[in-house]
Amino acid sequence: MPNAPRDPVQFDLRRWLRHLGRGLRRRCPHCGSAGLFRRWMVMERNCPGCHLILDRNEPDYFLGSYVVNFVTAEFVIALGTLGAVLWTWPDVPWNGIKWTLIALMIPVPILFYPVAKTFWLAIDLTLRPPTFADFEGHGENDPSPEARLPGSS
């Protein structure tokens, strides 16, 4: 059966690459909508397009994006060091490299922060596909007593 539905838990490389591409562009990995950030460092609670709850209702969800941001900053420093050493070999200007990389240690994590948040969300959505509970507007996510699931009274 060529058009058989796929198991949503099964890893799908195309879906993963689509999620990562959207995350790298600071878009919702699930639907591709923009507008996930009010300001550079302030993320909305949910996606304006599909209403996905962006922190997946977990209090320590930020730790994943923190690790992505930290590893990226360290990778930039390591790659910068390697590139500078190879470019200037054999007369390597160690002091110049040191001060340039120290100067990059602050702006790189700040500039990459929103990308790290959406990139981590893309990784998480691939490993843990969303359920109805991950979307705002469904009765189980609305704490108000008026919010009921369709058909419940």
**Tens digits of residue pLDDT in 93-112:** 999 999 998 898 889 999 99
- Model pTM score: 0.77
Whether pLDDT at 141 is above 70: no
Q: What are the C-alpha distances in Å from 61 to residues 67, 79, 89, 120?
A: 11, 28, 43, 9
Structure tokens at 147: 């919010």
| CB 128 within 8 Å of CB 19 | no
Angstrom distance (rounded) from CA 74 to CA 139: 42
Angstrom distance (rounded) from CA 128 to CA 121: 10
pLDDT of residue 6: 54
pLDDT of residue 151: 44
Q: How confident is the model at residue 57 (pLDDT cuts 50, 70, 90)?
A: confident
Reported as a single tens digit per residue, the pLDDT across 66-98 is 999 999 999 988 998 999 999 999 999 999 999
Q: How confident is the model at residue 147 (pLDDT cuts 50, 70, 90)?
A: very low
Sign, Cα dihedral of 100, 102, 106, 108 = positive
